[in-house]
A and B are shown apart, each in its own frame.
Chain A
Amino acid sequence: MFQEIVIEAGRAERHYWRDLWRYRELFRVLARRDVAVRYKQTVIGAAWAIIRPFLTMVIFTAIFGKLANLPSEGTAPYAIMVFAGMLPWTFFSSALADASGSLVGNANLISKVYFPRLIVPMAAVGVAFVDFSINFVMLVGLMVWYHFVPGWQIVLLPAFVGLGLFAGLGPGLWLTALNVKYRDFRYVIPFLVQLGLYVSPVGYSTSIVPEKWRLLYSLNPVVGVIDGFRWCILGGESELYLPGFLFGICVTVFLMWLGIRQFRKMETSFADLL
């Protein structure tokens, strides 16, 4: 016999997480759509995915490393230090920004078909992950260029990628749900991302932050991710500030919980509000 579905006011979907798994195909297709569409009708196409982070890296190295003369982590080249920070930052910020706008951007889908809505912001994060992979290949190229050999810590990198993913997805879910109801958030997000670039150790190393502010600084969940990345990639050249790092994980878990809760609470009314 077929599965019986009961629709009632305010009733939470019993098979929600199972449905999410059943619709994994849609996740893949939506992410692929966004990747495929991104560089359509551009002259240099996917080269944009390489040029943008490359230029940012050059500018950051020139401004922070050369003009401001900030110290790198140990003996690591400043460019690699910057890139190892930019990698998780771009991942985090595009995951956050794309996830936040995803529901409103897919309004036509949401008002016409049923599927677990979580797929939409998750697919947006998936797209950010594709960009991240391209950037990672660039980082490898950069390391070859500088003849830089990473330490054993590099094997732990996937864990930090996962942390970065959750750090972006959590607030992304929260914001995208609220954005459906209150479009004010659309204007908040670019500002948040811009500000985040400066309060996160992207262009500089965390070591220049005074010791007494380190814990407070770790309130920003990206700090832990970036530090983790640098620790993995630069190896012994940078050390991980453990209390701050654990604090950052707690913040990420909290944001993830908050995001899912908000999203699930508002999910059934998305179609009416869009």
Chain B
Amino acid sequence: MMPDIVISVENLSKRYLIGHQTSQRERYTALRDVIGREASNFVRKAADLLHGRQIIQGDDVEEFWALQRVSFEVKQGEVVGIIGRNGAGKSTLLKILSRITDPTAGKVRLRGRVGSLLEVGTGFHPELTGRENIVLNGAILGMTRREIRRKFDEIVAFAGLEKFIDTPVKRYSTGMYTRLAFAVAAHLEPEILVIDEVLAVGDIEFQRKCLGKMSEIAKAGRTILFVSHNEAALRKLCTHGIVLCGGRASPKQNIAATLDAYLSQAGSGLAYSWTRTSWTNQPTVRFESIAASLDGAQPTMRLQCSCIIVSEQKAPLSLIAVDVADVNGFPIMQAFPSTEPFIGGAPGRQKVEVTIDLPPLIPGIYSADFWIGPHNTETFDFLRTAIKFEIIDSPVRGRTFPHTRDHGSIVPNSMAYVRTNKDTSVTNAFGPVAS
């Protein structure tokens, strides 16, 4: 083990046994079958008990590998973001690293004290006051009494709860509760900090405070493993990243590359057409199908949409809107091709062609929502992410370094001028992108 490597994970695997209740899928069951099954279940469970095995609910047992041969190394002072969809194994990995559960195979070496923050307010007791809970939670997270006493005022001030510190936490609002809990955790000072999704709580102001505190911790040279779905937080805090997918880990890379790889993977399954498949909660005027295509060349791309719209009965004239969002669903723009209602209200089917001029978008995956209604306050039909399209070329010609989401979604037609002292004439040094 190299001296500056503080976490080394080798071929880590974790298996869980899960049971399925196949019997519940059958619609009709005879009493005889039920008795027979219960009897065999009982025999099996009794045998499990005698052999000291785990009892599994259900009559069908399956192995599930939450982690498969995961290996990586983390150096001192690195902040590593762990990214992956729900069920990818992130929490299992953190649980093994924080010694809550044992791996099935593989090895982890940790150099230094590990503080884990898998949940905000672990062990908080509703009947106890804020003051008592700080002591309790601090001890649970591994602080000594002296450490807690030293940081007590700081914790209370960070949470902003000076007035309520002697009130039982069951009288706290959810926000106050999480603030207090995070405040305790933020003052933990282990060499390795393991954090799971804790920024999803509290208001914006408090989230910012938490992020600030975490980057402070990171700057102090501590090693942090951080699981989050918050792209902005990951980008801001982490130096490196690992993508987990189905229990397998990608190699460790810098955070921007990791996020781009993950986001393009998450956005795969581009959809240039959409057709209605479900008929529940049917609006009177609705989209039947949409076909979209990109044309033009960067930086003036157009999204051509051909929409089939159906009116069940006579309805007021409607108008259409298209929202474009980035791969995270963050809205970029809204297009109203016409400000006046123009789509005929007579019953029947009609085709509407919509052309949307796209701004100079950086390469990546984007989605479009479609809306139809008689007025901006009334909706007939609203389709979220009906279309997913990909921009491949950069809007900037001859750009030598690749675009990432760090640079925003839109490249403006910016210009720069250089003025030298000798010559007052103006030169176009970095011309606008050609149009």
Do these two chains really belong together in a complex? yes
Given A113-B123, A115-B140, A181-B54, answer yes or no on A6-B101 (Cβ-Cβ < 8 Å): no
Cβ contact within 8 Å between B55 and A112: no
Cβ contact within 8 Å between A26 and B103: no
Cβ contact within 8 Å between B107 and A7: yes
Residues of the A chain whose Cβ atoms lie less than 8 Å from the Cβ of B127: 36-37, 40-41
Interface assignment of B102: CB less than 8 Å from any CB of chain A: yes
Residue of B nearest to A34 (CB): B125
Interface assignment of B136: CB less than 8 Å from any CB of chain A: yes
Interface positions, chain A 1-58, Cβ under 8 Å from B, are 1-10, 23, 25-26, 28-30, 33, 36-37, 40-41
Residue of A nearest to B137 (CB): A29
Bound Cα distance from A43 to B65, whole angstroms: 52
Q: Out of A1, A37, A41, A110, which one reaches B128, CB within 8 Å?
A: A37
Residues of the B chain whose Cβ atoms lie less than 8 Å from the Cβ of A23: 142
Interface positions, chain A 124-150, Cβ under 8 Å from B, are none
How many of chain A's residues have a CB under 8 angstroms from any CB in B? 37
Cβ contact within 8 Å between A112 and B100: yes
Interface positions, chain B 59-111, Cβ under 8 Å from A, are 95-111
Given A33-B125, A114-B98, A114-B99, answer yes or no on A2-B113 (Cβ-Cβ < 8 Å): yes
Cβ contact within 8 Å between A10 and B98: no
Chain B nearest CB, measured from A95 CB (Å): 21
Q: Out of B55, B110, B122, B136, which one reaches A7, CB within 8 Å?
A: B110
Cβ contact within 8 Å between A4 and B110: yes
Cβ contact within 8 Å between B116 and A6: no
Interface assignment of B118: CB less than 8 Å from any CB of chain A: yes
Interface assignment of B349: CB less than 8 Å from any CB of chain A: no
Given A26-B140, A40-B127, A112-B118, answer yes or no on A7-B99 (Cβ-Cβ < 8 Å): yes
Interface assignment of A111: CB less than 8 Å from any CB of chain B: yes
Residues of the A chain whose Cβ atoms lie less than 8 Å from the Cβ of B96: 7
Cβ contact within 8 Å between A8 and B107: yes
Cβ contact within 8 Å between B136 and A29: yes
Interface assignment of B174: CB less than 8 Å from any CB of chain A: no
Chain B nearest CB, measured from A184 CB (Å): 8
Bound Cα distance from A182 to B47, whole angstroms: 12
Chain B nearest CB, measured from A73 CB (Å): 42
Bound Cα distance from A4 to B114, whole angstroms: 11
Q: How many A-B residue pairs have C-beta atoms within 8 angstroms? Tell me.
A: 110
Residues of the A chain whose Cβ atoms lie less than 8 Å from the Cβ of B140: 26, 29, 109, 113, 115
Interface assignment of B139: CB less than 8 Å from any CB of chain A: yes
Residues of the A chain whose Cβ atoms lie less than 8 Å from the Cβ of B108: 6-8
Interface assignment of A211: CB less than 8 Å from any CB of chain B: no
Bound Cα distance from A50 to B109, whole angstroms: 52
Residues of the A chain whose Cβ atoms lie less than 8 Å from the Cβ of B112: 2-3
Residues of the B chain whose Cβ atoms lie less than 8 Å from the Cβ of A41: 127
Residue of A nearest to B3 (CB): A1
Cβ contact within 8 Å between B139 and A7: no
Residues of the A chain whose Cβ atoms lie less than 8 Å from the Cβ of B55: 181-182
Cβ contact within 8 Å between B102 and A7: yes
Residue of B nearest to A26 (CB): B139
Chain A nearest CB, measured from B188 CB (Å): 11
Bound Cα distance from A273 to B101, whole angstroms: 10
Cβ contact within 8 Å between B98 and A113: yes
Interface assignment of A268: CB less than 8 Å from any CB of chain B: yes
Interface assignment of A75: CB less than 8 Å from any CB of chain B: no
Cβ contact within 8 Å between B95 and A6: no
Most chain A CB atoms below 10 A, which of B54, B100, B116, B141: B100
Chain B nearest CB, measured from A18 CB (Å): 14
Chain A nearest CB, measured from B192 CB (Å): 9
27 A-B pairs, CB-CB below 8 angstroms?
Answer: A2-B191, A4-B111, A5-B109, A5-B114, A7-B96, A7-B97, A7-B103, A7-B110, A8-B106, A29-B135, A29-B136, A36-B132, A37-B125, A37-B127, A40-B127, A108-B123, A110-B100, A114-B116, A115-B140, A115-B142, A182-B49, A182-B55, A269-B102, A271-B95, A271-B100, A271-B101, A273-B54
Q: List 6 additional A-B contacts (Cβ < 8 Å) besides A3-B111, A5-B109.
A: A6-B107, A23-B142, A30-B139, A109-B122, A269-B54, A272-B101
* B residues apposed to A, CB below 8 Å: 16, 49, 54-55, 95-114, 116, 118-119, 122-123, 125, 127-128, 132, 135-136, 139-142, 144-145, 168, 191
For the complex of A and B, the 3 pairs showing the least CB-CB separation, nearest first, are: A114-B99, A268-B102, A2-B112
